[in-house]
Structure 1
Amino acid sequence: MTDEGFDVGGRLRQLRLARGLSQRELAKRARVTNSTVSLIEQNSVSPSVSSLKKILDALPVSISAFFAGEETSHPRPFYRASELTEIGDGKLSWRLVAARRPDRRMSILHERYPPGADSGAEMLEHDGEEGGVVIAGQIEITVNGEVGMLGAGDAYYFDSRLPHRFRNPGTEECVIVSASTPPTFSDAGQELPHA
């Protein structure tokens, strides 16, 4: 779930304590078990994007703000591959460009879906728009009941408030470069975002 050196548990604990919440109260607000919050804070488990998103919505903090931390210098225009922030769940890889850039108005992701990967059986819905281009492999995207199978060079663009899902039914990894706005992925209370 994390890029090297990012302490998910420590960051969650910091945000929870800053809001004066107990683990139990945060779990109740997020509708997850108390042990889920505890295990994540101890870095004993790598949370799925869905679980982490539920917890962050209860704070409320966006996924991008969670991983952003503090920008230590002025915004810069270029980022090396090693500087992209991993916000995936250990199965799906979603690497965010310029995660620590202050006042970012969009999210750009380098996404990797291994064979069989799925954004989840529960359809995603959040404010904003998103689009992307398939770089390699194939991806099945469902948007508001319409299913499309996209291959390298194909693209998508849709209103993110429509129920949607991403799935790789193929035998090779699918790579996508995507963008979404606003960068917060969803408003508090919504379920798992797709970047």
Structure 2
Amino acid sequence: MTFRIREIRAQRGLTVAQLAGAAGVSSGLISQVERGLADPSLETLRQIARVLEVPLFELFVDEEESSRVSVMRKGEHIEITTPATSITYTRLSKARGTIEVLQGDIAPGGESSTEPRSHAAEECIVVVAGTLSIDVDGSTVVLEAGDSCHYDSRLPHRLFNDSEEKATYIVAITPPSY
């Protein structure tokens, strides 16, 4: 997988050591990721994106679109998996827009994080298969296939799957934050 970390870091005027220190990782890891020699964890990518002040998927290489219509064909989607939370996210929309569309797959017992998180955005989730629980600001709703939920992502929130089967959902986020 190829990342744009070096390009964005240079635009921000940061050294490898400065980015590493602010993200809480080693300079060696940043260097290896920039050279394509290591694949960082999702949490490391989130920390790097936070320091660089870009949505997570902005770190991934994406060809520039010259057309006003962006099409992503099957097989072109970027996928990230985090074994620690049992979630796989697949970006279904091109980067650089004002909305981001992801498909999430969460294993039984999986969760997006152990503690609720917040970020400046809005999210709309539509459950495609299975059952998904969403905790927003201390209130939990359970969604089944075909159900949807919209919320202000500035409120602390997390997703989890208490069922015995995988849950699949589509999430639209504006502005992009993953």
Instruction: Show the counterpart of 1:111.
Output: 104
CA–CA separation in structure 1 for the residues paired with 2:68 and 2:79: 19
Q: TM-score normalised to the size of structure 2?
A: 0.83
Structure 1 residue 85: Cα displacement: 2.1
Superposition pairs of residues 157-172 of structure 1, within 5 angstroms? 157-172=150-165
Q: Percent identity?
A: 33
Q: Which has the higher strand share?
A: 2
Q: Which has the larger displacement, 45-54 or 104-113?
A: 45-54
Instruction: Show the counterpart of 2:147.
Output: 154
Instruction: Show the counterpart of 1:93.
Output: 88
Which residue type is aligned with residue 94 of structure 1? Y
2:173 to 168, 180, 188: 180
Structure number with the bigger relative contact order (C-alpha 8 A, sep ≥ 6) is 1
Q: TM-score normalised to the size of structure 1?
A: 0.77
Q: How many aligned residue pairs are there?
A: 176
Q: What's the secondary structure of 1:139's corresponding residue? A: strand
Instruction: Show the counterpart of 1:137.
Output: 130
Cα distance, 1:77–1:52 mapped onto 2, change above 3 Å: closer
CA–CA separation in structure 2 for the residues paired with 1:177 and 1:21: 35
Instruction: Show the counterpart of 1:51.
Output: 44
Q: Which has the larger displacement, 148-157 or 160-169?
A: 148-157
Q: What's the secondary structure of 1:130's corresponding residue? A: strand
Consecutive unaligned residues of structure 2, counting only runs of 5 or more, are none
Cα distance, 1:123–1:32 mapped onto 2, change above 3 Å: farther
Instruction: Show the counterpart of 1:28.
Output: 21
**CA deviation vs aligned residue, 1:32-62 (integer Å, no higher than 9, x gap):** 3445434544656543333212112212332
* Preserved CA contact (<8 Å) 1:46 1:89: no
Consecutive unaligned residues of structure 1, counting only runs of 5 or more, are 1-5, 186-194
RMSD of aligned Cα (Å)? 2.4
Cα distance, 1:61–1:50 mapped onto 2, change above 3 Å: same
